[in-house]
């Protein structure tokens, strides 16, 4: 069966980094993979021109007739309340039940790691961030003199995230650390702690511990080497993975894959760089597309195309080792030149 991908470039630098990955899809096709893709207009421009965010028919088409989504970024100062971002990206994460947001931190170059005495190859961390609820459940109220945001944690979503994280830790003989603040967030993070203890008991071979998130951030900066999988709710996972982006060279490098461990729909994964739409860089040819390449490799791995995933990752590694660098990495390459330098490392 043809593998169908949906490509949503979105806003800001999204279309610029996505443009660099489209030739890679043609490369995969040229290797004999039965792949088709369609580029979709959903984003701020389309919303402002038509009033449409993500029509129901389009959502159902993505859900039931595609295998995965390649996503650039959403967010645009012309839509200050971010309603289109909520209706596109947060909706896709929630309604496709993409419960796990997996964010590897595998630094490629020693020079990118700002920590003295730590080698890039010694840092192998993956954040498993719950992707559909917690403080980002978008429930709250602003009243005169008071503003409230709810943080909803359901047993089903937390269990899905933790089970996937423990499976990954067990498969790689790596440790798992739960980031939490159960000392103050007694209800929500209390639920996380209870389920974590339960799963710890059923995975005796996995080295598992829980840490207060603030202490964890301090420990990660002092020495990230002892950490393997880090499981966290949506909010803490967001913060921790942006810190880890700094170990990889910055926001332009860090990849992420959102996926549904329980496979409720045909569309089981959405690849997106950790960075957002970076309006300050949009249209200037300064965006680093590396994160987009690395998250596409994650999507290929998810689709079972391990060989292409590995080839794409090593093309990125070779380009960086050879000195390819956009301005955020201290170089002068423009987005298109950086993309071309990476693609040059792909075998014909």
b/e burial code for range 129-166 (CB count within 10 A of at least 16 → b): bbbbbbbbbeeeeeeeeeeeeebebeeebbbbbbbbbb
Given the complex with ligand ATP, which of 7 and 208 has the nearer CB atom? 7
φ/ψ region of 263 (left if φ > 0, alpha if ψ in -120 to 50, else beta) reads: left
Residue 103 sits in the site that holds ligand ATP (CB under 6 A): no
How many CA atoms, within 13 angstroms, populate the side-chain half-sphere of residue 21? 34
Smallest distance from the beta carbon of 218 to ligand ATP, in angstroms? 22
Residue 296 sits in the site that holds ligand ATP (CB under 6 A): no
Residue 304: helix, strand or coil by DSSP?
coil
- How far, in Å, CA of 76 to CA of 12, rounded? 7
Smallest distance from the beta carbon of 261 to ligand ATP, in angstroms? 23
Which residues in the 36-75 window bind ligand ATP by CB under 6 A? 75
Encoding tokens for residue 312? 């794409």
Site string for ligand ATP, 210-249 (x = CB under 6 A): ----------------------------------------
- Neighbour count for residue 194 (Cβ, 10 Å): 12
Choices 37-45, 140-148, 286-294, 307-315 (CB under 6 A): range interacting with ligand ATP = 286-294
Strand 35-39 to strand 3-10: parallel, antiparallel, or no bridges (unpaired)? parallel
Choices 28-36, 277-285, 295-303, 317-325 (CB under 6 A): range interacting with ligand ATP = 277-285
Among 9, 104, 252, 255, binds ligand ATP (CB under 6 A): 252
Among 21, 161, 269, 287, binds ligand ATP (CB under 6 A): 287
- How far, in Å, CA of 188 to CA of 166, rounded? 20
Smallest distance from the beta carbon of 348 to ligand ATP, in angstroms? 28
What is the contact surface with ligand ATP in residues (CB under 6 A)? 13, 17, 75, 251-252, 275-278, 280-281, 287-288, 291, 328
């Amino acid at each position: 069966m043809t593998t169908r991908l949906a490509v949503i470039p979105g806003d800001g630098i999204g279309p610029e980094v996505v443009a660099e990955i489209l030739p890679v899809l043609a490369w995969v096709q040229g290797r004999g993979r039965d792949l088709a893709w369609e580029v979709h207009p959903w984003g701020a421009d389309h919303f402002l021109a038509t009033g449409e965010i993500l029509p129901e028919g389009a959502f159902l088409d993505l859900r039931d007739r595609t295998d995965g989504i390649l996503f650039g970024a959403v967010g645009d100062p012309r839509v200050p309340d971010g309603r289109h971002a909520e209706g596109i990206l947060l909706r896709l994460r929630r309604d496709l039940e993409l419960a796990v947001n997996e964010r590897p931190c595998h630094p490629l170059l020693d020079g990118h790691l700002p920590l003295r005495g730590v080698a890039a190859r010694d840092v192998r961390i993956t954040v498993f961030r719950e992707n559909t609820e917690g403080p980002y459940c978008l429930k709250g109220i602003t009243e005169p003199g008071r503003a409230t945001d709810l943080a909803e944690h359901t047993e089903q979503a937390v269990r899905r995230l933790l089970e996937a994280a423990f499976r990954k830790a067990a498969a790689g003989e790596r440790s798992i650390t739960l980031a939490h603040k159960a000392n103050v967030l007694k209800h929500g993070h209390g639920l996380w702690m209870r389920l974590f203890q339960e799963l710890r008991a059923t995975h005796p071979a996995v080295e598992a511990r829980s840490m207060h998130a603030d202490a964890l951030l301090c420990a990660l900066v002092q020495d990230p080497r002892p950490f393997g999988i880090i499981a966290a709710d949506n909010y803490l996972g967001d913060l921790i993975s942006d810190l880890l982006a700094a170990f990889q060279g910055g926001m332009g490098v860090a990849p992420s894959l959102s996926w549904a461990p329980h496979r409720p729909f045909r569309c089981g994964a959405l690849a997106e760089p950790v960075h957002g739409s970076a309006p300050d860089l949009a249209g200037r040819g300064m965006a680093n597309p590396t994160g987009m390449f690395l998250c596409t490799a994650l999507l290929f791995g998810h689709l079972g195309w391990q060989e292409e995933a590995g080839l794409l990752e090593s093309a990125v590694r070779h380009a960086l080792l050879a000195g390819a660098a956009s301005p955020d990495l201290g170089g002068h390459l423009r987005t298109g030149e950086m993309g071309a330098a990476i693609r040059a490392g792909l075998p014909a």
